[in-house]
Amino acid sequence: LNVFDEVNIYQIKYLNNVANNHEDVDKTVLAALATVKDGFTEEEYIDGDDVYTKYMNYVRVLNSLGCKSCFTKKVDLGLENIDRFFCSCSLLKLYIEDKGTIIRMKSLHDRWSSRYSFENDKYKIVIPETIADLLDESSQQHNCLYTMIEEDILKGYSTVIFMRDKKNLKKSHVTIEIRGGEISQAKRVCNGPCTSEDKSFLLDFLKETGLRSGALGSSNDCEYMRIPDFINEEPFDIFRAEFMSIPEAPLDNLPFA
| Amino acid sitting at position 145 | L
C-alpha–C-alpha distance, residues 179 and 157, integer Å = 7
pLDDT at 96: 59
- Per-residue pLDDT tens for 208-242? 999 988 877 654 443 333 333 433 444 433 333 33
Say what percent of the chain tops pLDDT 90. 29
User: Is pLDDT of 177 > 80?
Assistant: yes
- Per-residue pLDDT tens for 77-104? 665 566 666 677 677 667 656 667 778 8
- Per-residue pLDDT tens for 34-81? 888 887 766 677 788 888 888 888 787 777 666 666 565 556 666 556
C-alpha–C-alpha distance, residues 67 and 92, integer Å = 10
Rounded to the nearest integer, the mean pLDDT of the chain is 77
User: Is pLDDT of 246 > 60?
Assistant: no
C-alpha–C-alpha distance, residues 143 and 161, integer Å = 14
Our CA dihedral for 184, 114, 164, 197, rounded to 10 degrees, sits at -60
Q: What stretch of H or E contains 136?
A: helix 131-141
When mean pLDDT is compared over 76-90, 120-134, 162-176, 237-251, the highest value belongs to 162-176
CA 44 to each of CA 38, 79, 119: distance values in angstroms, whole numbers, following the listed order: 11, 9, 45
pLDDT at 112: 96
Query: Strands 159-165 and 174-179: what pairing?
Result: antiparallel
Among 139, 213, 206, which residue's Cα sits nearest to residue 172?
139
- Per-residue pLDDT tens for 101-126? 778 888 999 999 999 999 999 999 99
User: Is pLDDT of 243 > 50?
Assistant: no
pLDDT tier at 178 (50, 70, 90 boundaries)? very high
This prediction's pTM: 0.61
Query: Looking at per-residue confidence, does 101 or 25 come out higher?
Result: 25
Residues in the chain: 257
Question: What are residue 186's DSSP bridge partners?
Answer: 176
Contact 138, 145 (CB under 8 A): yes
C-alpha–C-alpha distance, residues 91 and 251, integer Å = 14
